[in-house]
């Protein structure tokens, strides 16, 4: 068999066989046939050509990578899915896998997100959503801004949209935050009733109820080691807890007003907080002391997210987004983000882009330039929370319209 990828293989249909085609002839197969169909302008033919391209080794792989920049969204998405399958081992490639992974990292798939589930939370507003590390479960918390209510976190199967469990214990006011442990087995909820509730996710078993805060709890965060978690309240206090049935370790004092956002560095050494005093405070968790503060917002800080490599911090305030260098404290970019408070920020797994929300829209931004890549409308009311799966393939949003939406492409 001829191993030249520029010549058709034995199963390819061509005009003229192995003889040189006539001047007016058209090559229908082989690597040249793939290239020809990709230049045809017919989307169906282009997608069909891509499905055959990997039959021609590295030359075909290069064609698929180039198709990530095709004018047709359908062709770009087809190329993206082919490369994902190739990395997953369904194709035999002589080219080193890192080159394919790099091509995938440089591709922005969020333009293809579509809502696959709209889940009714059962309360007027959804304040917080979280996805389990195995990407199988979504949890939400919310309420109707009233006290003496029966409010519980809701748990759904992320693939089917089926509600998984009915929790037997409840909060008596809005749940402002939910979080799932790194092992995916435990969950925390906290909110306006000043209580923290600990649960087993799969069995709905109630672990503990903690009430050491004297004011509303606005934010939670779980340490990467899964053994420690943090809660922040309306008085400016941050409490550190151990999972051991809710043992309180310490209280961090520095903010003098409500704290609305917490996040942790990927290595678990730093805790970052922000709130109504317009200051971002950075805490060393070994010493349990504030080591740094960042100032620049003119309004309260409602959201924080740190890049996967720990080098950049993004903060959200009243309509404004800021990007900070975590090594120098330098403010790199400051720009208009949404028509309301920027309430939620999540990074893509590759750390090159991040997503934000606060009004009706979800926006995708380029970290390196601070430029907006994409906007898509999410809910009929303001969106309060976003969560992105660990593989970046699934986005969950919760809003003031009382629903949770699951997006995939």
Domains of the chain by start residue, with CATH: 30-105 (1.25.10), 111-408 (2.130.10.10)
Q: Model-level pTM? A: 0.85
What pLDDT does residue 89 have? 53
Q: What is the mean pLDDT of residues 5-24?
A: 48
- Residue pLDDT, tens place only, 299-308: 999 999 999 9
Q: What is the mean pLDDT of residues 194-222?
A: 91
Residue 380, SS3? coil
pLDDT exceeds 90 at position 360 = yes
The lowest-confidence range among 162-166, 319-323, 326-330 is: 162-166
Question: Shortest CA distance to 252 belongs to which of 262, 270, 238, 235?
Answer: 238
pLDDT exceeds 60 at position 12 = no
189 vs 180: CA distance, rounded Å: 9
Kindly write down the DSSP assignment for every residue of 127-176, as one continuous string. Answer: EEEEE-TTS-EEEEEEE-S-SS--B--EEEETTT--EEE--S--BSS-EE
91 burial level (CB within 10 Å; 0-12, 13-18, 19+): middle
Residue 206 · residue 198 · CB < 8 Å: yes
What pLDDT does residue 4 have? 56
Most trustworthy range by pLDDT among 43-57, 243-257, 275-289: 275-289
Q: Which two tokens stand for residue 75?
A: 């062709």
Residue 234 φ then ψ, to 5°: -75, -5
């Amino acid at each position: 068999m001829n191993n030249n990828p520029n010549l058709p293989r034995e199963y390819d249909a061509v005009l003229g066989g192995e003889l040189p085609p006539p001047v007016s002839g058209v090559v229908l197969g082989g690597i040249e046939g793939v290239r020809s169909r990709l230049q045809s302008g017919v989307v169906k033919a282009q997608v069909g050509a891509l499905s055959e391209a990997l039959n021609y080794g590295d030359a075909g792989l290069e064609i698929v990578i180039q198709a990530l920049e095709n004018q047709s969204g359908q062709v770009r998405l087809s190329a993206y899915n082919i490369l994902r399958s190739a990395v997953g081992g369904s194709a035999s490639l002589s080219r080193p896998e890192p080159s394919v992974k790099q091509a995938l990292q440089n591709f922005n798939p969020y333009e293809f997100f579509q809502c696959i589930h709209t889940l009714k939370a059962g309360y007027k507003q959804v304040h917080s959503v979280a996805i389990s590390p195995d990407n199988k479960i979504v949890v939400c918390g919310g309420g109707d801004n009233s006290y003496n209510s029966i409010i519980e976190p809701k748990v759904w199967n992320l693939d089917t949209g089926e509600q998984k469990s009915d929790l037997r214990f409840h909060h008596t006011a809005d749940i402002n935050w939910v979080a799932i442990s790194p092992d995916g087995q435990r969950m925390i909820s906290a909110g306006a009733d000043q209580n923290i509730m600990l649960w087993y996710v799969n069995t709905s078993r109630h672990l503990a109820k903690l009430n050491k805060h004297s004011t509303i709890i606005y934010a939670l965060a779980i340490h990467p080691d899964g053994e420690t978690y943090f809660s922040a309240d309306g008085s400016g206090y941050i409490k550190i807890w151990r999972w051991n049935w809710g043992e309180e370790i310490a209280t961090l004092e520095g903010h003098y007003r409500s704290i609305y956002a917490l996040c942790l560095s990927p290595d678990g050494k730093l805790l970052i907080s922000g709130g109504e005093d317009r200051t971002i405070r950075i805490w060393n968790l070994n010493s349990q002391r504030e080591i740094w503060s960042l100032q620049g917002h003119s309004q309260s800080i409602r959201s924080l997210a740190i890049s996967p490599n720990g080098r950049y911090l993004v903060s959200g305030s009243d309509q404004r987004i800021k990007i900070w260098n975590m090594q120098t404290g330098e403010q790199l970019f400051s720009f208009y983000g949404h028509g309301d408070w920027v309430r939620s920020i999540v990074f893509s797994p590759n750390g090159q882009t991040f997503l934000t929300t606060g009004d009706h829209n979800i926006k995708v931004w380029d970290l390196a330039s601070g430029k907006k890549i994409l906007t898509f409308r999410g809910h009929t009311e303001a969106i309060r929370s976003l969560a992105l799966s660990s593989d970046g393939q699934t986005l969950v949003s919760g809003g003031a319209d009382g629903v949770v939406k699951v997006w995939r492409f």
